[in-house]
Structure 1
Amino acid sequence: MEYSGRHVSILSHHLEWDSLPFNWLLFRFQRQSVPVGGDWSLLFWRLKYDHPAGIRKAMQASEFSRMVSVFSQPSLMMIEHRDRDFALGSYWGFVGGLPEMNGLANTDFGGFKRVRFLTYCEDSRAVIIYMTEVAPGVIAFSKIIEADARHVSNVTGLIDADSEAITMCVTGWKRRSCDQCALASIPCDPAVCNNEKDFDADRAERKALLLRSGGLTLEYHRMWWNGSWTAPTGPMGPMTAFASCTLKGPGFDVALLSVMQHEVSNVHPPRSSYRIVNEGINAMNYFLSLEDTEVEASEKLASSIDLLEDPISLDWLSLLDDKTCEICGSTFTRVIDVRRHKENMHGKKRKYECWICPKSYSQNGHLREHVRQAHVAQDAFSCTLCSKRFGVKHKLQRHFTTVHENRRRFECEVCSKKYKEKSSLKHHQLVHHVHLFEES
Structure 2
Amino acid sequence: MQVPFSSLSEHLEWDSIPMTWLLFKKHKLAVPQRGEWRMLLMDMRMKVPEVTGAVLASSEVIKMLSALQQPAMLITDYVAENFVLGSGWAFMGGLPELEGSANERFAGLQRFRFMTFLDSGRVTNISCIEVRPGLIAFVRVEELSGRLNRTFWGIVDKEAEMVEDSGMSIDHRGCDMCYSSKGKCEARLCEDEQYFADLWNSRMVLKLGLQPRWKTLEFFTHWFSGTWTIPVADLEPVKVLTTCYRAGAEFESALLAVVQDEVLGVHPPRSSFRTVKYVREAVKYFVDLEEGDPPLLGADLLSDFDSEGAQSLSGQEVLSPALPKNVCGICGAKFKRNYEAKRHRETVHEKLRENKCSFCGRTFSQKGHLNEHIRVTHRENNVHSCHVCGKKFGVKSKMTRHVATVHENRRTFKCEMCNQWYKEKAYLKRHMLSQHGAALVS
Partner residue in 2 for 1:221: 220
CA deviations over 1:119-168 (Å, ceiling 9, x no partner): 11111211100111111221100000011222110101101122211111
Q: Offset of 1:327 from its aligned partner?
A: 5.9
* Aligned partner letter, 1:212: L
1:137 equivalent to 2:195? Answer no
Partner Cα distance (2:53, 2:192) in 1:
28
Q: 1:124 to 1:397 in 2, by over 3 A?
A: farther
1:87 aligns with 2:145: no
Q: 1:399 to 1:24 in 2, by over 3 A?
A: farther
Partner secondary structure for residue 30 of structure 1: coil
Tell me whether 1:150 sits opposite 2:147 in the alignment.
Answer: yes
Distance 2:223 2:337 in 1: 53
Identity %: 32
Matches for 1:34-183 after TM superposition, within 5 Å: 34-183=31-180
Q: Contact (CA 8 Å) 1:189, 1:238: kept in 2 or not?
A: no
1:410-433: CA deviation from partner (whole Å, max 9, x where unpaired)? 89xxxxxx96389x9xxxxxxxxx
SS at match of 1:275: coil
Q: Following TM superposition, by how much is the alpha carbon of 1:34 offset from its aligned partner in structure 2, in angstroms? A: 1.1
Matching of residues 400-415 of structure 1 within 5 Å: 402=409, 407-409=410-412
**Structure 2 gap ranges (5+):** 271-329, 344-366, 392-401, 415-420, 428-442
Determine helix, strand or coil for the equivalent of 2:215. Answer: coil
Could you say which residue in structure 1 is the equivalent of 2:258?
259
CA distance in 1, matches of 2:33, 2:93: 24
Q: Alpha carbons of 1:280 and 1:105: their partners in 2 closer, same or farther (altered >3 Å)?
A: farther
- Is 1:30 the counterpart of 2:8? The answer is no
SS at match of 2:194: coil
Distance 1:58 1:282, change over 3 A: same
Task: Give the match's secondary structure for 1:237.
Answer: strand
Determine if the alignment matches structure 1 residue 275 to structure 2 residue 368: no
C-alpha distance in structure 2 between counterparts of 1:24 and 1:157, whole Å: 17
Structure 2 counterpart of 1:147, one-letter code:
L
Q: Secondary structure of the residue that 1:69 maps to in structure 2?
A: helix
* Cα distance in 1 for residues equivalent to 2:85 and 2:95: 24
CA gap of 1:399–1:69, structure 2 versus 1, over 3 A, is farther
Instruction: Call closer, same or farther: CA 1:400–1:146 in 2, change over 3 Å.
Output: farther
Deviations 1:57-79 (A, max 9, x none): 21122211111001110100001
Q: 1:9 to 1:280 in 2, by over 3 A?
A: farther
Q: AA paired with 1:6?
A: V
Give distance in 1, aligned partners of 2:12 and 2:76.
18
Look up the match of 2:273: none
Match of 1:10 among 7, 11, 14: 7
The residue number in structure 1 matching 2:243 is 244
Higher alpha-carbon deviation: 36-45 or 109-118: 36-45
The answer (yes or no) to whether the contact 1:16–1:22 under 8 Å persists in 2 is: yes
- d(CA) in 2 for partners of 1:42 and 1:49? 22
Secondary structure class of the residue paired with 1:254: helix
**AA aligned opposite 2:40:** L
- One-letter amino acid matched to 1:242: L
Residues 31-89 of structure 1: CA deviation (Å, up to 9, x unaligned): 11111233311100111223334111211222111110011101000011111111111
Task: Answer whether contact 1:187 1:230 (CA < 8 A) is retained.
Answer: no
Q: Conserved in 1, the CA contact under 8 Å of 2:136 and 2:155?
A: yes
RMSD: 3.6
Is the CA contact (8 Å cut-off) linking 1:73 and 1:96 kept in structure 2?
Answer: yes
State how far apart, in whole Å, the 1-side matches of 2:76 and 2:403 are.
22
Asked whether the equivalents of residues 90 and 110 of structure 2 are also in contact (C-alpha less than 8 Å), the reply is yes
What is the deviation of 1:180?
A: 1.6
Displacement after TM superposition at 1:400 (Å)? 8.8
1:46–1:244 CA contact under 8 A, matched in 2 = yes
SS state at 2:234 partner = helix
* DSSP-derived class of the 1:36 partner: coil
Give the Å deviation of 1:100: 2.8
How many Å separate the matches in 2 of 1:220 and 1:185?
Answer: 29
Q: What's the TM-score, normalizing by structure 2? A: 0.64
Structure 1 alignment gaps of length 5 or more: 286-325, 331-340, 350-361, 369-394, 412-417, 425-440
**Aligned amino acid, residue 408 of structure 1:** R
Point out which structure has higher relative CO (alpha carbons under 8 A, 6+ apart).
1
- Does 2:203 match 1:206? yes
Residues 353-372 of structure 1: pairs in structure 2 closer than 5 A:
none
Distance in 2, Cα, partners of 1:233 & 1:419: 42
Kindly provide the CA deviation profile for residues 302-335 of structure 1, in whole angstroms up to 9, marking residues without a partner as x.
Answer: xxxxxxxxxxxxxxxxxxxxxxxx967x9xxxxx
Length, aligned pairs only: 321
SS at match of 1:35: coil
2:423 to 420, 424, 428: 420
Report if the CA contact (8 A) 2:84-2:116 is conserved. Answer: yes
Matched to 2:179, the amino acid is: A
Code of the residue aligned with 1:275 in structure 2: it is: A
TM-score when scaled to structure 1? Answer: 0.64
Name the counterpart of 2:323: none
> Which is worse superposed, 122-131 or 273-282?
273-282
Answer yes or no: is the 8 Å Cα contact 1:182–1:228 preserved in 2.
no
Distance in 1, matches of 2:342 and 2:195, equals: 74
SS at structure 1 position matched to 2:333: helix
Q: In the aligned structure 1, how far is the partner of 2:403 from the partner of 2:225?
A: 40
Which letter does structure 2 place at the counterpart of 1:264?
A: V
CA contact (8 A) 2:52 2:236 kept: no
Q: What residue is the counterpart of 2:232 in the other structure? A: 233
Report the secondary structure of 1:347's partner residue: helix
Aligned to 1:291: none
Using the TM superposition, give the Cα deviation of residue 265 of structure 1 relative to its aligned residue in structure 2, in angstroms: 1.2
Q: Which letter does structure 1 place at the counterpart of 2:333?
A: R
Structure 1 residues 347 and 21, CA gap change in structure 2 (3 angstroms) = same
